[in-house]
């Protein structure tokens, strides 16, 4: 969990600090454009990934600043974690306890997942959107997963370049061998995550389907890798200057609503939001059981599309979850029944913290 976070020159925040004082529910309210989501986005960067909006790093810096920013947090185990961008640089950097580390190392310290209005339609959006969302969840479960995804994307680009330049078979064999091994590792990670998540996901069930996942389920891992390598060897062609192959980069995820006995994508918007939140809560339980750590759940506009009963159920489950929850909303009164909550009022990139009705700090 985060005990304190300081955000500097980030989005519309010049310098904002939140002390959680051990609270497990941090509720951020304010008008549109006040900087609520920016706080969640800053927290999300501590995962080592590109954050909940997935935008270019340079766009995160305050528009009238020097082009850099920093997000500095202290965790409940007294570790200091920092993500920052220096002036005139393109890439983020990370530090743990003042030591430079790779961004991927941050996932070992904080397991962070998020839901934004963008994910409210994840079940009816493209397979690419779902794959990105679920691969993020897998990465929170297995920090090495995101590195495999990044590696696969680079290898596929390298393969496309090699095909265009008419590279020899030995070069292509070397690339295809790496693609095959990386793809099988990705598929295996997805299957393992889905099976373990479903143990805690009583209201729904997650499935993953694709060429790679079917190979893994039908064959040993060694045979699956061999079969996929042979497939790559036999499909070294370009269509309209574009490489067309199947694989882990084409897989799709699905969710079945066990209560309604329907696939999530054909249920109502409210039902989709409910099952999505149930999925995230199940994920939090899984992470806590597997790692002993309390993950962070970031909920942007948490109460959107939920009726009163669903909202009450959500808040009750959040209170019993083994996670620290950071949630935003327009109306503070919507969250008034959440216990152990720190209320943060945000206005034009400035904040004040109020807990149990008493102002404790301004920044």
Q: Which CATH number does the domain housing residue 242 bear? A: 1.20.1050.90
- Residue in 272, 327, 283 with CA at minimum distance from that of residue 305: 272
Q: Are 281 and 270 in contact (CB under 8 A)?
A: no
**CATH number of the domain that 11 lies in?**
3.40.50.300
**Same-domain pairing of 9 and 89:** yes
Co-location of 137 and 251 in the same domain: yes
pLDDT for the residue numbered 338: 77
- Does the pTM surpass 0.85? The reply is no
Sign of CA dihedral 119, 54, 280, 300: negative
As a whole number of angstroms, the distance between CA 303 and CA 292 comes to 28
70, two tokens: 């920093």
State residue 159's pLDDT score: 95
Q: What is the pLDDT of residue 358?
A: 32
Nearest residue to 134 via CA among 270, 278, 279, 263: 279
202 lies in a domain?
Answer: yes
Half-sphere exposure of 207 (CA within 13 A, CB side): 11
Contacts of 59 (CB under 8 A, 6+ apart): none
Same domain flag for 160 and 143: yes
DSSP state, 115?
Answer: E
Helices (H), the chain: 36-45, 127-141, 145-164, 169-200, 211-218, 221-233, 269-291, 308-320
In a domain, 355, yes or no: yes
pLDDT at position 352, please?
Answer: 65
pLDDT of residue 304: 66
Last residue of a domain, one of 292, 318, 346: 292
Asked if 226 and 317 sit in the same domain, the reply is no
pLDDT of residue 353: 56
Task: Give domain status of residue 195, yes or no.
Answer: yes
Where among 241, 262, 292 does a domain terminate?
A: 292
Residue 161 structural domain: 121-292
30 in a structural domain? yes
Please give the Cα distance from 358 to 43 (Å, whole number): 24
* Beta-carbon-side half-sphere exposure of residue 53 (alpha carbons within 13 Å): 15
C-beta separation of 69 from 61 below 8 A:
yes
Residue 135 falls inside a structural domain: yes
Domain-ending residue, one of 253, 270, 292: 292
pLDDT at 153: 95
Residue 93 in any domain: the answer is yes
The answer to whether residues 147 and 106 belong to one domain is no
Q: Do residue 171 and residue 275 come from a single domain?
A: yes
Listed in sequence order, the residues at least 6 apart from 252 whose beta carbon sits closer than 8 Å to its beta carbon are 127, 130, 131, 208, 209, 210
Residue 115 forms part of a structural domain: no
The total number of structural domains in the chain stands at 2
How many CA atoms lie within 13 Å of 25's alpha carbon, on the beta-carbon side?
22
Nearest to 76 by CA among 127, 110, 104, 52: 110
Short-list 256, 259, 305, 299, CA closest to 281: 299
- Residue 153 sits in the same domain as residue 265: yes
Please state, in angstroms and rounded to a whole number, the distance separating the CA atoms of residues 334 and 81. 32
Residues 261 and 323 in one domain: no
For residue 91, the tally of other CB atoms under 10 A from its CB is: 9
Task: Lay out the sheet containing 262-263: strands in order across.
Answer: 204-209, 252-257, 262-263
Same-domain status, 72 and 49: yes
Same domain, 308 and 363: yes
Asked whether residue 116 is assigned to any structural domain, the reply reads no
Q: Identify whether residues 224 and 356 lie together within a single domain.
A: no
Per-residue pLDDT of the chain (363 residues; tens, 9 = 90+): 899 999 999 988 988 999 987 788 898 988 888 889 999 999 999 998 888 888 888 889 988 777 899 999 999 888 999 999 998 888 999 999 999 999 888 888 888 988 888 888 899 989 999 999 999 899 888 988 988 999 999 999 999 999 999 999 999 999 999 999 999 999 999 999 999 999 999 999 999 999 999 999 999 999 999 999 999 999 998 877 778 899 999 999 999 999 999 999 999 988 898 898 899 989 989 998 988 888 899 988 876 666 677 777 777 777 777 889 898 988 787 787 777 788 888 887 677 654 433 333 333
Residues 150 and 259 both lie in one domain: yes
Phi, psi of 211 (to 5 degrees): -55, -45
């Amino acid at each position: 969990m985060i005990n304190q976070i300081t955000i500097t020159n980030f989005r519309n925040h010049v310098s904002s600090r939140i002390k959680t004082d051990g609270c497990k529910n941090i509720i951020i309210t304010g008008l549109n454009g006040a900087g609520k989501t920016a706080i969640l986005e800053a927290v999300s960067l501590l995962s080592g990934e590109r954050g909940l909006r997935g935008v270019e790093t340079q766009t995160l810096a305050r528009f009238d600043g020097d082009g850099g920013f920093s997000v500095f947090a202290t965790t409940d185990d007294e570790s200091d974690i920092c993500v920052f961008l220096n002036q005139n640089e393109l890439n983020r950097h990370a530090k743990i306890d003042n030591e430079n580390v790779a961004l991927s190392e941050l996932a070992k310290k904080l397991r962070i997942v998020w839901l934004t209005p963008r994910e409210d339609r994840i079940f009816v959006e493209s397979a690419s959107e779902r794959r990105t969302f679920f691969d993020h969840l897998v990465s929170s479960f297995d920090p090495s997963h995101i590195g495999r995804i990044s590696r696969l994307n680079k290898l596929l680009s390298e393969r496309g370049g090699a095909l265009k330049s008419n590279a020899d078979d030995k070069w292509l064999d070397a690339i295809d061998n790496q693609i095959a091994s990386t793809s099988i590792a990705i598929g295996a990670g997805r299957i393992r995550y889905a099976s373990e998540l479903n143990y805690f996901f009583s209201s729904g069930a997650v499935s993953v389907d694709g060429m790679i996942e079917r190979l893994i389920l039908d064959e040993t891992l060694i045979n699956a890798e061999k079969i996929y390598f042979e497939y790559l060897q036999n499909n070294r062609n370009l269509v309209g200057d574009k490489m067309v192959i199947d694989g882990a980069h084409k897989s799709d995820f699905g969710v079945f609503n066990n209560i309604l006995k329907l696939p999530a994508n054909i249920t109502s918007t409210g039902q989709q939001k409910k099952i999505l939140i149930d999925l995230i809560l199940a994920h939090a339980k899984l992470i806590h059981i597997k790692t002993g750590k309390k993950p962070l759940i970031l909920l942007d506009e948490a109460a959107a599309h939920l009726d009163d009963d669903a909202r009450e159920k959500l808040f009750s489950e959040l209170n019993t979850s083994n996670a620290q929850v950071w949630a935003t909303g327009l109306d503070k009164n919507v969250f008034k029944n959440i216990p152990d909550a720190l209320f943060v009022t945000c206005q034009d990139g400035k904040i004040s913290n109020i807990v149990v009705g008493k102002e404790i700090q301004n920044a």
